[in-house]
Chain A
Amino acid sequence: MSALPTAALAKDREVSIGLQAAITSMDPHYHNLSPNNSMMLHMFEPLIRRDANQKPVPSLATSWRAVDDLTWEFKLRKNVRFHDGSPFTAEDVVFTLKRVPNVPNSPSSFATFTKPIVDVKVVDPHTIVFKTATPHVLLPSDLASVLIVSKGAGEKAATEDYNSGKAAIGTGPYKFAEYVPNQRVVLKANYGYWGGEEPWDKITFKILTNPAARVAALLSGDVQMIETVPTSDIAKLSKDPKFNLVDKVSNRVIYVHLNQSTEKSPPFVTDKSGKPLEKNPFRDARVRKALSMGINRDAIADRIMEKKAVPAAQLLPDFFYGTSKKLKPARFDPEGAKKLLAEAGYPNGFAITIHGPNNRYINDDKIAQAIAQFYTRIGVDAKVETMPSAVYFTRATKLEFGYMVLGWGTESGEQGSSLRSLLATYDRNKGMGVTNRGRYSNPELDKALTIALVTMDEKKREALIQQAAEIAMNDTALIPIHYEVSTWATAKGLRYEARTDQYTLASGLKPAK
């Protein structure tokens, strides 16, 4: 009986967290997927970490600099030990870079981030030099996505060995304890962590994909924190004194791609009697602008998103790198939109079908429906078809739709990469416009982005990206709707440090003072 107080105390340092998506592996190089990346950060660390606002801060590297356009030097942190007690050195970095592109069966690898590095030189155990073939300013940003594994434990280890915990040896604040695919992950504190003591001895992550189940688990006390609180429950939870709600605008923008790939009517776009149009209306900047002005972003943020969204003017909220403060969300103006449509030669509007996913983004199907509602006010007949992402994305990539509701999270935290992926002229081999489902093409924009990519001067580079953003947004290259606001709910007495990258990190969960 005397053991009781200690047991109770130990229990206080245990926490259960409800996650919204499955963790597909415990191998940090197997699957480049947000939920995995978030989970892996507990056990493994990159050279450069991103803080709650996605600003780069030192992690396993203490400092870094570009020696010249093609050479980078990184100083590594000393006295860091892996979970198995072995010391962290430059050899582990070399091993990691070798392993990343060679993970068998990886459905989405991290090779994109290590590919620019053509040569690695170990100067001493705590100094490493990277060579690139062309100037690559994004190297530090890329390396923030690469988690360092132990050479000793990782050699000859396959993904299975990480899943079983045998090779899951990192330098991070928590150690592997248990992994049950699609069900739970259990971690234990790494008491030898170089960054100091962590608030928890043991964390259990439960996979609760169903939003209602997640909330129910919090309400009934089965978990102490959940991520992505469904918007429908926010009002009630924030009034309940038993819970704490935190939120933060995220790096994910919800936007619309307008299919500009065809000369004549794109798919699902017709005149009001159902006949195809002579010209593709989406190629006319006035039509694009009218469709943007026709959306009441405030109403969506307020009514559909329960205020957990911020109307968007570009691809990232304007405190991120490369964003322009000059850009403001398009004002809801049905009369102005009608006038623009008339000017463009569509005084009677036309008919479209809005396509969107229904299980991918927060309230995605409701947003599509609300947009259709607004368009009835500007004389555009809109039908709505939403479908599970398993069907949606394949068809969207094949350009089978005309008006597509989509979302984009910028993990790098700098707008240049999202502009390149979403709006640069489509050329997958060059890595430009890889997800440009609208097939928007503007040489002026391409030029600014290409120059920015090789400009080593941070100030100049940011100005170029800002300029590119202004070119694209003033031309309504796509229609930004809002930035999702991520939410976390915790039991009273706990507080979570909200993050822009939507990651749920136990290190950020602390007893509230």
Chain B
Amino acid sequence: MLAYTIRRFGQSFIVLVFMSFLVFVGVYAIGNPVELLVNPQADEAERIRATAALGLDKPFLEQYWGFLKGAAKGDLGKSFVFNVPALTLILEKLPATIELAFVAMVIAISLGIPLGLVAGLKPDSFIGRGIMAGSIMGFSLPTFWVGLVLIMIFSVHLGWLPSNGRGETVLVAGIPVSFLTMDGIAHLAMPATNLALFKLSLLIRLTRAGTREAVLQDYVKFARAKGLPQRRVIGVHVLKNILIPIVTVIGLELGSVIAFAIVTESIFAWPGTGKLLIDSINQLDRPVIVAYLLVIVSLFVVINFVVDVLYSLLDPRVRLGGAAAAH
């Protein structure tokens, strides 16, 4: 187990180095940040000064090497735009995004799995079909469109919920969270719902598909034949069997929700990392983009690791790190 963990994180380290290089190449390919940052009226001397101030006068590989040296010391560089350490900028915004992502996932899971179970157990009933038809709505409309419609209804017409921003926060273990205050919940409701819709639909469908398969499996039939109560059959035998793909997808989606809440955050002006990322990309603020991706990849690595550990707990047939040994 320990060896597995060490190997896994060793690989992740290589991934991080490779990623940062890709971002350097990517930003280099997109354009020149000086073009966007410097005042267009500036003369040549000012351009040269600005290019040097941002360290963009050095050869490409030297810039990257400089970044690696800094990164080894924990310094990921300063934002071109804000002149603030990129990591600080991201860590300040991360709690807001993680909070939004978690609330969205909780909404998706707490509604998605029960609804999916119902739809899977009674596939031909009115309710089952209704749930399925409804779930289609969840992923057929673009997020930005749904977001604005939500604002139109709940903020503009009904005036129930604030249209933008994050509500009042309280410190929990030194981290500001907003889901404990009424104001915070009011601000969270719409963006979290907006973000949850797609995941909700996906979970409903996965759960339903898994359930339909499971109820036909011999062990479930057997359990039923034995006269076990319905609740136990579903709760233990069906659910357990369908959890593996669901855990995978939840893991994946949690990561992607955190990483790419871009659209939702920009429509609801949610002060998180997604909005920071899109602004940074638009400004070619390379240090922030690189640092952001490194943080996100590290997050993914941890999530994937947890997912794999969960596999082994849910299904003893999957052995951690044993895949290689099996041959």
Contact = CB atoms under 8 A, between A and B. Distances in A.
A, B bound: yes
Interface of A: 22, 24-25, 27, 30-33, 104-109, 111-112, 159-160, 163, 180-183, 206-210, 212-213, 216-217, 219-222, 359, 388-391, 393-395, 397, 408, 411, 417, 421, 428-431, 434-435
Interface in B32-87: 32-47, 49-50, 53-54, 78, 80-84
Contacts of A221: 159
B83 A105 contact: yes
Given A107-B81, A219-B156, A359 B40 contact: no
B41 A107 contact: no
Interface stretch (B242-250, B266-274, B292-300, B306-314): B266-274
A9 to B, nearest CB: 23
Contact of B266 (A210, A217, A388, A435): A210
Contacts of A217: 163-164, 269
Contacts of A417: 41
A109 B50 contact: yes
Interface string B78-100: 10111110000100110000000
B284 interface: yes
Contacts of A108: 37-39, 42, 46, 50
Interface of B: 30-47, 49-50, 53-54, 78, 80-84, 89, 92-93, 148, 151-152, 155-156, 159, 162-165, 266-269, 271, 275-276, 279, 281-284
B227 to A, nearest CB: 57
A104 B271 CA distance: 28
B163 A213 contact: yes
A413 to B, nearest CB: 13
Contacts of A434: 40-44
Main secondary structure of the interface of B (DSSP, over half): helix
A212 B266 CA distance: 10
Nearest to A16: B165
A208 B271 contact: no
A111 B267 contact: no
A390 B43 contact: no
Given A106-B50, A112-B41, A220 B36 contact: no
A389 B36 CA distance: 8
Contacts of A208: 164, 269
B49 A111 contact: yes
14 contacts: A27-B83, A32-B39, A33-B39, A105-B53, A112-B43, A206-B269, A209-B279, A212-B151, A217-B164, A220-B162, A389-B36, A397-B32, A428-B47, A429-B45
A431 B41 CA distance: 9
Contact of A359 (B46, B269, B282): B282
B282 A388 contact: yes
Contacts of A393: 31, 35-36
B54 A112 contact: no
A220 B53 contact: no
A50 B165 CA distance: 33
Contacts of B49: 109, 111
A163 B275 CA distance: 20
Given A106-B50, A220-B163, 20 more contacts: A22-B279, A30-B83, A106-B53, A109-B46, A111-B49, A160-B84, A182-B279, A207-B269, A208-B164, A213-B268, A216-B164, A219-B155, A219-B156, A389-B36, A390-B31, A390-B281, A390-B283, A391-B30, A393-B35, A421-B41
A23 to B, nearest CB: 9
Given A107-B50, A216-B156, A222-B162, A159 B83 contact: yes
A99 to B, nearest CB: 15
B82 A25 contact: yes
A177 B152 CA distance: 32
A306 B214 CA distance: 59
A395 B35 CA distance: 10
A431 B283 CA distance: 25
Contact of A222 (B34, B40, B164, B275): B164
Nearest to B150: A216
Contact of B282 (A30, A104, A206, A389): A389
B97 to A, nearest CB: 13
Nearest to A162: B83
Given A163-B84, A428-B47, A183 B271 contact: yes
B268 to A, nearest CB: 7
Nearest to B32: A394
Contact of A24 (B45, B78, B81, B93): B81
A390 B284 contact: yes
Most interface-central of A163, A213, A428 (chain B CB within 10 A) = A213
Given A111-B49, A216-B156, A390 B84 contact: no
A107 B37 contact: yes
Most interface-central of A111, A219, A220 (chain B CB within 10 A) = A220
B38 to A, nearest CB: 4
B50 A394 contact: no
Contacts of A390: 30-31, 36, 281-284
A388 B282 CA distance: 7
Nearest to A398: B32
B54 A181 contact: no
Contacts of B156: 216, 219-220
B50 A397 contact: no
Contacts of A24: 81-83
Nearest to B88: A181
Nearest to B46: A112
Given A24-B82, A181-B82, A210 B267 contact: yes
B43 A428 contact: yes
A169 B136 CA distance: 56
